[in-house]
Amino acid sequence: MTRRLWKVGTNSGNDGCPTLYEIPGTDRFVVQGDRLTDAGEIGQLENLTDDEDAVTVPRELLANFAPKEPVHVPQIITAEEFGRMFTTLKHSAWRLETRGRYAWDEQQPEYQQFLAEGRVDWDLEDPWCLGRREQSAQGKRFERVRILDEPATEGQRYLLDNAARNTAVGEDIRVLTRGQADELGLPCEDFWIFDSRVVALLHFDDADEMGDIELITNPVDVLRYAQAREAAWHHAVPYDQRGR
Model confidence pLDDT, tens digit, residues 139-176: 999 999 999 999 999 999 999 999 999 999 999 999 99
Note the Cα 173 to chain centre separation in Å: 18
Mean pLDDT, the chain, integer: 93
Q: How confident is the model at residue 243 (pLDDT cuts 50, 70, 90)?
A: low
Residues 6+ apart with CB under 8 A from 21: 5, 6, 7, 8, 29, 30, 31, 32
Determine the Cα–Cα distance for residues 229 and 24; give it in Å rounded to an integer.
41
Q: Are the C-beta atoms of 51 and 100 separated by less than 8 Å?
A: no
Cross-strand bridge partners of residue 215: 75, 200
Answer whether the bond into residue 187 is a cis peptide, omega within 30°. Answer: no
Structure confidence by residue, pLDDT tens digits, 90-110: 999 999 999 999 999 999 999
Q: Mean pLDDT across the stretch 174-199?
A: 96
For 6, list phi and psi in degrees, rounded to 5: -100, 125
Q: What percentage of the chain reaches a pLDDT higher than 90?
A: 78
Helix (H) or strand (E) holding 38: none
Determine the Cα–Cα distance for residues 237 and 244; give it in Å rounded to an integer.
10
Q: pTM for this structure?
A: 0.77
